[in-house]
Amino acid sequence: MSRSRPCKYGSVRVAVISVHTSPLAQPGNGDAGGLNVYVLQSALNLARRGVAVDIFTRATSSADPAMVSVAPGVTVRNVVAGPFEGLDKYDLPTQLCAFAAAVLRAEAVQEPGYYDVVHSHYWLSGQVGWLAADRWAVPLVHTAHTLAAVKNAALADGDTPEPPLRAVGEQQVVDEADRLIVNTDTEAAELVAHHRADPARIDVVHPGVDLDMFTPGDRAQARAALGLGDGPLAAFVGRIQPLKAPDVLLRAIALRPGVQVVVAGGPSGSGLSAPDGLARLAQDLDIAERVHFLPPQSRPDLVTLLRAADLVAVPSYSESFGLVAVEAQACGTPVVAARVGGLPVAVRDGVTGVLVDGHDPARWAAAIGDLLDGGPELLERLGRNAVAHAAGFSWGHTADALLESYRRAIADYGRARPPAAGRALIARRAGRRWTMRRGVVRNVATESR
């Protein structure tokens, strides 16, 4: 390992697989969300520690360049696999062979032993990562982010369950991965319960927040920038789909006269079938004049929105962590969140916000009312606590924990192979010579026999 800048772990090169969504996509659009932020921010912070990261993702436009240098040490590789448009993530299993072939070809033109570890995100990527890690004789580290069984157990009314194909694919990846990374202890327990994962192979790594970007600021100034006046203001930030439950917030606000809401995000998942459904609900609830819809926000604009709100609502039915909850708290804004998944880790109940059991709009209206009716002193105290709490979640901490997991994966992988087999494997990899002919990868050593 001598290719990238030195760090205390030695020089490491990581192949990150993110099939269904690009780290360069705008969160809040389509399938882009917290996973995109996680992949990009963790890669940037790994690079600052001397790790070289190549992120393989599916190209969704003919204008996408084959490679994008995001920062020193971080490269995004846009893989052509299937049509650029018209595919959602439920269509992507048909394109995994094409995607995997492109990943293997990218590595084949490099020196043998180019990558030291594969880190896959979401089950589709795990299928590709499993093949790549096996072919390159390196460990596979996998982050599921969400599980089909967990999502199906907490479906919103009318939402579409995850297909059996996904549960089977997740089980395969869990069985093959050398290490499994989860956001919280709750997620670790779910992996064990639903997929019989070995607890000894699970590492808990909390996601982070960009503490240089998400900071407290002047609320009045932020509201003026958004064209919003005084008065109680709640915000929802995320993809517009039943899973994220923005309708629960609107139904709760309908029970709280005088409270305004900003909804920032675009339709996603089953929400694509009725992209204007939330706006129609606001009309039906007779609160349209109190609901302001914004498109997905850039990071600076998101900071402005989070500073402007009195509280941020995260009413999801399932949430492995809830990055926006930590981002809001870093801006000094309390959070009202569902007591599901990783949100009890992201939000300290009664200290930085409120956790709500269930999705009854009346219960949500009461929780929101308790905060808003408590006066500015309560909101300011919760906001100060929120900033202190969010300070414990940095992407630097995430990168350090990922490196520890990679180190364990590499060490365990080496110990699992007998010396003779290991020497044969090294010799085989060292003797591999590849070339490209008309875009097809060929093994010269094999073909010359």
52 marked as part of a ligand binding site = no
State yes or no: 307 annotated in a binding site.
yes
20 labelled ligand-binding: yes
What is the end-to-end Cα distance of the chain in Å, rounded?
A: 31
Tell whether residue 348 is among the known ligand binding residues: no
The response to whether 432 counts as a known ligand-binding position is: no
Distance, CA of 216 to CA of 383 (rounded, Å): 9
Residue 255 DSSP one-character state:
T
SS3 56: strand
Instruction: Say whether 28 counts as a known binding-site residue.
Output: no
Interatomic CA distance for residues 206 and 346, integer angstroms: 9
Please check if 89 is assigned to a binding site. yes
The answer to whether 327 is annotated as binding is yes
Does 26 show up as a binding residue in the annotation?
A: yes
Q: Phi and psi of 93, rounded to 5°?
A: -55, -30
CA 213 from chain center: how many Å?
18
Residue whose token pair is 């200290």? 351
In DSSP terms, 234 is beta-bridged to 261, 311
Q: Are 305 and 292 in contact (CB under 8 A)?
A: no
Q: Is 309 within any annotated ligand binding site?
A: yes
Instruction: For residue 240, give the 3-state DSSP assignment.
Output: strand
Q: Is 190 annotated as a binding residue?
A: no
Confirm if 146 and 318 have CB atoms less than 8 A apart.
yes
CA distances to 19, 123, 244, 323, 385 from 399, in Å: 21, 21, 27, 16, 25
35 annotated as ligand-binding: yes
297 among annotated binding-site residues: yes
Q: Supply 395's token pair.
A: 């992407």
**Residue 36 labeled ligand binder:** yes
Residue among 397, 403, 393 nearest 335 (CA): 393
19, two tokens: 């099939």
110 appears as a binding residue in the annotation: no
To the question of whether residue 325 is assigned a binding role by annotation, the answer is no
Instruction: Record the tokens describing residue 433, joined without a space.
Output: 């010579």
Phi first, then psi, for residue 19 (nearest 5°) are -65, -50
Q: Where are the beta strands (DSSP E) in 159-318?
A: 179-182, 202-204, 233-237, 260-264, 291-294, 311-314
* Phi, psi for residue 423 in degrees, rounded to 5: -65, -40
User: SS3 breakdown of the chain: % helix, strand, coil, rounded to 5?
Assistant: 45, 20, 40
Q: Is 296 helix (H, G, I), strand (E, B) or coil?
A: coil
The HSE-up count of residue 102 (CA atoms within 13 Å, CB side) is 20
**Which residue positions form the known binding site?**
20, 26-27, 31-36, 89, 122, 146, 166, 239, 244, 297, 307, 309, 319, 327, 333
**Which residue positions form the known binding site for UDP-N-acetyl-alpha-D-glucosamine?**
26-27, 34, 239, 244, 297, 319, 327
**Which residue positions form the known binding site for 1D-myo-inositol 3-phosphate?**
20, 31-36, 89, 122, 146, 166
**Which residue positions form the known binding site for Mg(2+)?**
307, 309, 333
